[in-house]
Structure 1
Amino acid sequence: MQPFVYNALPSRVVFGFGTLAQVAEEVRALGCSKALVLTTPQQRASGEALVRQLGDLAVGLYDNATMHTPVEVTREALAVVESVGADCVVALGGGSTIGLGKAIALHTDLPQVVIPTTYAGSEATPIIGQTENGLKTTQRTLKVLPEVIIYDVDLTLSLPAQMTVTSGMNAIAHAVEALYSKDANPLISMLAEQGIAAIGRALPRIHANPEDREARSDALFGAWACGVCLGAVGMSIHHKLCHTLGGSFDLPHAETHTVVLPHAVAYNTDAAPEAMARIARALGAETAARGIFDLAAKHGAPIRLADIGMKEADISRAVEIACSSPYWNPRPIEPAAIRQLLDNAFSGTRP
């Protein structure tokens, strides 16, 4: 066994079916009594229902959570926090809502109860990404780690099949990069492989039957496992590219992860053979890159940047941004090779 360092993250996880009923209990356990519920505009009705469920524990609903966590939205939400005197936030939704909850916590230290409805995995990390002036930046701080995560499998049963696949691929990306991170350690590597395998076996079943409760449970567990991996170790070229494409070119988050991941894995294949073997084994695939690509392609997910809003003319600028301040990566960041990576992702070439 090689020497390693592992920092466990302090958070409480409640996982199961029907666990939404426990939100009030968790708010009280935090010593809070003035919860501001957060959602996106699309999930406003679910947020209103949660406000009613919380009763006197809720002081309002803010329903303008936005993809990539724009700082101007955070400022607006902070004004609402102050006006209603909130002493905690309850984020109900996917990565956009969870990101807003984290942004509020970054500025206020308010405790967070998070109820994920997708497989984004952000809830399990002390990482926040924010967008300002067309650039997305990230930082890691325990101030944004949610105190409580409530996983209710029932809330994911209505997640559309294609959104399920892209959200699941987003989660897999967290575990993939954890396997070849400079901070990789045996505990996280085992959890990463388990998370990839759980989502890899769940997605085909959910695609065939979106109401398969056992498969939904596997996928949600896998999302948590993959999120924990991202929270414990560092990010590499895949996340840098996705942050660039999302923050600077406004591409949709989960879809961007889905398209870029197999090509980022192909880029790092020779530099991280042990990680690639684990990924391929978890997916039951010939190679890691092809296993990831095929999992998306066979289940209706986008496989080309061209199909999710990227313009070919913007690829050069994306390369410039991504290479100007790169994350650590097992293979050196070479602009010409990154250009080829993005060209392949733009056209949807199978690795």
Structure 2
Amino acid sequence: MSWEHVTLGQRVRFGTGQAASHLADEVERLGAQRVMLIAEETAPDVASEIEVAVRWTDVAPHVPVEIAERARKQAEDVDLLVSVGGGSTTGLAKAIALTTGLPIIAVPTTYAGSEATNVWGLTEASRKTTGSDDRVLPTTVIYDAALTASLPDELAIASGCNALAHCVDSMWAPRADPINQALAVEGIRALRGGLRRIGSVEGREQTLYGAYLSAVAFASAGSGLHHKICHVLGGAYNLPHAQTHTAILPYVLAFNTPAAPEAGTRIAEALGGDLITLYGEIGASHVLHGVPDVVEAAKLIMPSAPPSNPRPVTEDDLTALLAAASAGQLEWSRA
């Protein structure tokens, strides 16, 4: 074997019902004096034990550049960012850190996984740009399954399937190696069990654990075909992040597995069967909504398709994949 692996340095605190106390401990440990809290109005209140200097509530999916620029101005006199929410909230904190270098404490309330990666994304004029930079990696992540209890079942399932997508992509992404593949396989196992019991505390804890593993694997392996497709679609058509990832995943899996049979076997073993069976058990949707022209979408995606994908990708392949996903044609295969 010959490969190179990078592990990102990050502190993780995990405990149900302990988010507020863990946050206070971390703020004290970092010696922060002026905290900027980034959280939507409806976010759980976990800042009751810290002093907040600046509160920011204007959060939007895919992190529009104009919101990021306004938030950066408000962060000029702070020394720590605290994000409480899903991927959009974490993403905004990352956009601020990207230009300011401010440290982040991330308190996730979904299973998005952005909190454990050094990947950032910004959207301008319907085009989403992504990149990686260690400045945006949160210094600490605080996981608390109680904070996910209020998620509607449909959103919780979609968010968990988004984490599954991180795992699957990590099996054949540009920097895939045995370590991040091992993390991805364990993440799939945890997510499979957690999503089946998402209504219980134990299920939510397992799903959070799996989401963290999925994000660590993804941060190391990089963005594969699945994520390139979803990022372009999200930016171009303002599609909901988690639901789009959920819908696209079965089709990318069907496309790549014939060219990567060993990875496909490991994924199936970790799932305890096939992905569609799990989708049926948990009520996940495999239908893509909101793409008005699949030919146009394929043209937009094609420049981002990874050359290292296990199977060569053409514009016609992408058009067929998107058409199948839009129609919910599970029997579709390019094998």
Q: TM-score, normalised by structure 2?
A: 0.95
C-alpha distance in 1, partners of 2:258/2:47? Answer: 51
State the partner residue of 1:129.
121
Are 1:244 and 1:321, in contact at CA under 8 Å, matched by a contact in 2? yes
C-alpha distance in 2, partners of 1:102/1:174? Answer: 19
SS at match of 1:298: helix
Shift of 1:243: 0.6
SS at match of 1:305: coil
C-alpha distance in 2, partners of 1:119/1:159? Answer: 10
- The yes-or-no answer on 1:10 pairing with 2:2 is no
1:80 is aligned, of 74, 79, 94, to 74
1:310 is aligned, of 291, 304, 316, to 291
State the partner residue of 2:140.
148
C-alpha distance in 1, partners of 2:62/2:280? Answer: 25
1:240 is aligned, of 228, 233, 258, to 228
Runs of 4+ in 1 over 6 A off after TM superposition: none
C-alpha distance in 2, partners of 1:41/1:240? Answer: 31
1:170 is aligned, of 137, 159, 162, to 162
SS at match of 1:203: helix
1:61 is aligned, of 55, 61, 73, to 55
What residue ranges of structure 1 are gaps of 5+ in the alignment?
286-290
What CA deviation, in whole Å up to 9, does each residue of 1:252-310 have, x standing for no partner?
0000000000101111111111111111001111xxxxx2233234323322113xx33
What CA deviation, in whole Å up to 9, does each residue of 1:183-219 have, x standing for no partner?
222221111100011101111222xxx1x11111110
Are 1:297 and 1:303, in contact at CA under 8 Å, matched by a contact in 2? no
State the partner residue of 1:194.
186
Query: Whose helix proportion is higher, 1 or 2?
Result: 1
1:299 is aligned, of 270, 282, 301, to 282
State the partner residue of 1:22.
22
- The yes-or-no answer on 1:277 pairing with 2:257 is no
> Which has the higher mean CA deviation after the structures are superposed, 226-235 or 151-160?
151-160
State the partner residue of 2:298.
319
AA of the residue aligned to 1:153: A
C-alpha distance in 1, partners of 2:18/2:179? Answer: 28
Shift of 1:39: 1.3
What CA deviation, in whole Å up to 9, does each residue of 1:303-336 have, x standing for no partner?
2113xx332xx21111001002323412111111
Say what the alpha-carbon RMSD is for the aligned residues: 1.3
Are 2:173 and 2:225, in contact at CA under 8 Å, matched by a contact in 1? no
Shift of 1:52: 3.7
Give the number of equivalent residue pairs: 329
SS at match of 2:72: helix
C-alpha distance in 1, partners of 2:37/2:87? Answer: 15
- The yes-or-no answer on 1:33 pairing with 2:33 is yes
Q: 1:16 to 1:52 in 2, by over 3 A?
A: closer
Are 1:166 and 1:258, in contact at CA under 8 Å, matched by a contact in 2? yes
C-alpha distance in 2, partners of 1:325/1:5? Answer: 23
SS at match of 1:232: helix
SS at match of 2:323: helix
SS at match of 1:256: helix
1:110 is aligned, of 95, 102, 123, to 102
What residue ranges of structure 2 are gaps of 5+ in the alignment?
none
C-alpha distance in 2, partners of 1:53/1:243? Answer: 36
- The yes-or-no answer on 1:223 pairing with 2:203 is no
Are 2:86 and 2:109, in contact at CA under 8 Å, matched by a contact in 1? yes
SS at match of 2:138: coil
C-alpha distance in 1, partners of 2:285/2:239? Answer: 12
SS at match of 1:146: coil
AA of the residue aligned to 1:300: G
State the partner residue of 2:83.
91
Q: TM-score, normalised by structure 1?
A: 0.91
C-alpha distance in 1, partners of 2:327/2:175? Answer: 33
C-alpha distance in 2, partners of 1:64/1:295? Answer: 35
